Amino acid sequence: MQIKKVGVIGAGQMGNGIAHVLSLGGYHVILNDIDKNTLEKASHNIKNNLERQVNSKKISAAESNAALKLIDYTVSLEDFNEVDLVIEAATENEPIKQKILNSLLTHIQPHTILTSNTSSISITRLASCTDRPEKFMGFHFMNPVPVMQLVELIKGIATDQETYDSCLQVVEKLGKTAASAEDFPAFIVNRVLMPMINEAVYALYEGVGSVEAIDTSMKLGANHPMGPLELADFIGLDTCLAIMNVLHEGLADTKYRPCPLMTKYVEAGWLGRKTKRGFYDYTGEQQIPSR
């Protein structure tokens, strides 16, 4: 199936990045959010991020302008009546995702493929609350979407090959690389990455090292572009905790127990960069450890 028009649900950090790369790939994008302010912020972020790419000569000004013209913003799912593909990128909360998918069904065409950018939730379970489990799959981008090369593609138990092939074609048209993952909790990237981040939080909790020592160790000792605590702040501690909980519950193994310190930070509303405080404080010119 030829995909031309894509609906993206959720204009947060993942949703606006997804709209950005789809529009650069030549797709007409309808970006939806329930909150008008989030849509305005998304439009501003997309412009800024395209400008960064123009400034570093990754794309031309003409390509950036063409991409901007291909994105429409809406608070109403009724505007999804002509989309060929939907990518749901709302918050990492299963009841919310199910509610969104349910409310979407009356507005889309019978041929429309439904996907979720979920970082951990069962694709088979999400698919089962739609009217088209064979046309449902996981379409998982990495953050920051315009920079990261990988997209994980996850088939649910009922997903058909045609749906998978259509999504693979989109990934290829975006110039990204797909990795196929089976539908087990947190798939591949987060199955490996999140326990590492969780372990770094345990190392902090147990006093093995300071925030700076832990991050410096992993940056200079393992050549990671960001230390694990800095990366947790970048992803969002609420998202990291939600993924650890899915691993813990889904695999029933104590090795995935979320660190109590991570839970405490989330309870405090210290969610990382997006709230300007997590393992680091981002209110000043330079990030400094928050405790």
Provide the binding-site residues for ligand 3HC, judged by CB under 6 A.
49, 52-53, 56, 58, 119, 142-144, 146-148, 189-190, 193, 225-226, 231, 235, 239
Q: Which is nearer to ligand 3HC, 9 or 193 (CB)?
A: 193
In Å, how far from its chain's centre is CA 274?
A: 14
Q: Tokens for 116, please give them.
A: 């979720």
Nearer to ligand 3HC, 127 or 194 (CB): 194
Q: Between β-strands 177-181 and 28-32, what pairing exists: parallel, antiparallel or unpaired?
A: unpaired
Confirm whether 210 is a catalytic residue.
Answer: no
- How is residue 139 written in tokens? 């379409």
CB of 152 to ligand 3HC, least distance (A): 9
Kindly state the smallest distance separating residue 203's Cβ from ligand 3HC, in Å. Answer: 18
Q: Which CB sits closer to ligand 3HC, 33 or 92? A: 92
Whether the Cβ atoms of residue 137 and residue 161 lie closer than 8 Å to each other: no
Please state the closest distance from residue 130 (CB atom) to ligand 3HC, in A. 21
Q: 43 with 27: CB under 8 angstroms?
A: no
Residue with structure tokens 């990030």? Answer: 287
234, 143 Cβ separation under 8 angstroms: yes
How many other CB atoms are found less than 10 A from the CB of residue 132?
Answer: 17
**32 pairs with which residues across the strands?**
9, 74
Smallest separation, CB 281 to ligand 3HC (Å): 18
User: Least distance (Å) from ligand 3HC to the CB of residue 110?
Assistant: 30
- SS3 state of residue 280: strand
- Closest CB to ligand 3HC among 186 and 204? 186
Q: Count Cα atoms within 13 angstroms, Cβ side, for 259.
A: 20
Catalytic residue at 152?
Answer: yes
Q: Which amino acid is at 288?
A: I
Reference 202, options 111, 267, 264; nearest CA is 264
Options 16, 32, 64, 119, the catalytic residue: 119
Residue of 16, 122, 166, 190 marked active site: 190
Active site residue 140: yes
Kindly tell me which of 23 and 190 has the beta carbon lying closer to ligand 3HC.
190
Catalytic residue among 23, 49, 122, 152: 152
Q: Which of 92, 140, 166, 230 is catalytic?
A: 140
Catalytic status, residue 248: no
Give the active site residues: 119, 140, 152, 190
